[in-house]
A = this chain, B = another copy of it.
Amino acid sequence: MTDDRMSVREIAKLAGVSTATVSRVYRGVGSVSAATRAKVQAAIEQYGYRPSHLGEALANRRHGALAVVFPGLSGPYFAELINGVESVAVPRQVSVHVIGTHLRREAPDELLDVARRVDGMAIHGGTVPKTVIKELAARHPVVMIGPDPHPAPIVVRTDHQAFRQLVSHLLADHGLRKLIFVGNPAGSPDLTERWDAFVAAHEELGLRPGKQFRTGLEQTHGVQAADEVLAGGYDGAVCGNDETALGLMMAVLGRGLRVPGDLVITGVDDVPMSSLVSPGLTTVARPLAELGATATRLLLDLINGADVAPETVLPSRLVRRASCGCED
Contact = CB atoms under 8 A, between A and B. Distances in A.
Interface of A: 1-3, 5, 48, 50-55, 57-58, 61, 63, 65, 72-76, 78-79, 82-83, 86, 90, 93, 95, 97-98, 100, 102, 106, 110, 112-114, 116-117, 119, 139-141, 219-220, 223-224, 246-247, 249-251, 253-255, 272-273, 276-279, 302-303, 305
A223 B279 CA distance: 12
**Count of identical protomers in the assembly:** 2
Given A54-B54, A251-B277, A95 B117 contact: yes
B273 A254 contact: no
Given A90-B110, A95-B117, 15 more contacts: A1-B140, A48-B139, A51-B116, A54-B54, A54-B63, A54-B117, A74-B79, A75-B76, A79-B100, A83-B102, A86-B100, A223-B276, A246-B250, A253-B253, A254-B277
Given A78-B73, A102-B83, A140-B3, A220 B254 contact: no
Contact of A139 (B5, B58, B223): B5
A52 B116 contact: yes
Contacts of A51: 116
A141 B55 contact: no
Contact of A220 (B58, B97, B117, B276): B276
In the A-B complex, the 5 residue pairs with the smallest Cβ-Cβ separation, listed nearest first, are A74-B79, A254-B278, A53-B116, A253-B253, A53-B117
Contact of A95 (B63, B114, B303): B114
Given A53-B116, A79-B72, A250-B253, A223 B277 contact: yes
A121 to B, nearest CB: 12
A89 B188 CA distance: 27
B224 A2 contact: no
Contact of A58 (B55, B75, B247, B277): B55
Contacts of A83: 102
12 contacts: A3-B119, A3-B140, A52-B116, A75-B75, A75-B79, A79-B100, A90-B110, A93-B113, A220-B276, A223-B273, A250-B277, A254-B279
A86 B76 CA distance: 21
A111 to B, nearest CB: 11
